[in-house]
Homo-oligomer: A and B are copies of this chain.
Amino acid sequence: MTAEARMDPACPMAAFPFHVGGKWTGMVVVALLDGPRRFGELRQTLGIRSAKVLTETLRDMMCDGLVTRTDHQANPPHVTYELTDLGRSLLPVIDAMREWSDQRLAELLAHRQAHPATESGAAPTPTSPQR
């Protein structure tokens, strides 16, 4: 298969969670690999200042069946998030990404740095966390 015919929107590449799910989805999966985490823990781990972003990410992921939410009825509130089996099934993909990054990311970044790219904002340099 590959690129013979026209690539329709049903193509896996178009639907894959890391693109569909927003910027933080992948990191949340990684953060939850060790086991359940609380909302605040996640927030700190991921370095998210705004709660809203995390809330949205988690809601989307719940909607997609990637994580489950457990509300330990307590006061003060205590809520934990945990990977579902489906969520954990993403691990091989993440590992593939990690391995690639280990071996090749430097090369890509070097290329990028060397290029004027005709333009200033080709893509935000990941090493400089602006915003």
A residues adjacent to B (C-beta < 8 A): 2-23, 26-27, 30-34, 37, 44-47, 59-60, 62-66, 86, 89-90, 92-105, 107-112, 115, 117-119, 122-124, 126-129
What is the total number of copies of this protein in its complex? 2
B101 pairs with A12, CB closer than 8 A: yes
Closest CB of chain B to A105's CB: distance in Å? 6
- Specify which of B34, B47, B59, B105 is in contact with A117 (CB 8 Å cutoff): B59
Which chain B residues lie closer than 8 Å to A10 at the CB level? 126-127
Can you list 29 contacts pairing A with B, beta carbon distance less than 8 Å? Answer: A2-B30, A3-B45, A4-B34, A7-B27, A7-B30, A11-B30, A12-B98, A12-B100, A13-B26, A13-B27, A15-B127, A16-B101, A18-B18, A19-B26, A22-B123, A59-B118, A60-B122, A63-B111, A63-B115, A63-B123, A65-B107, A65-B111, A66-B108, A86-B104, A86-B111, A90-B100, A93-B97, A93-B100, A96-B96
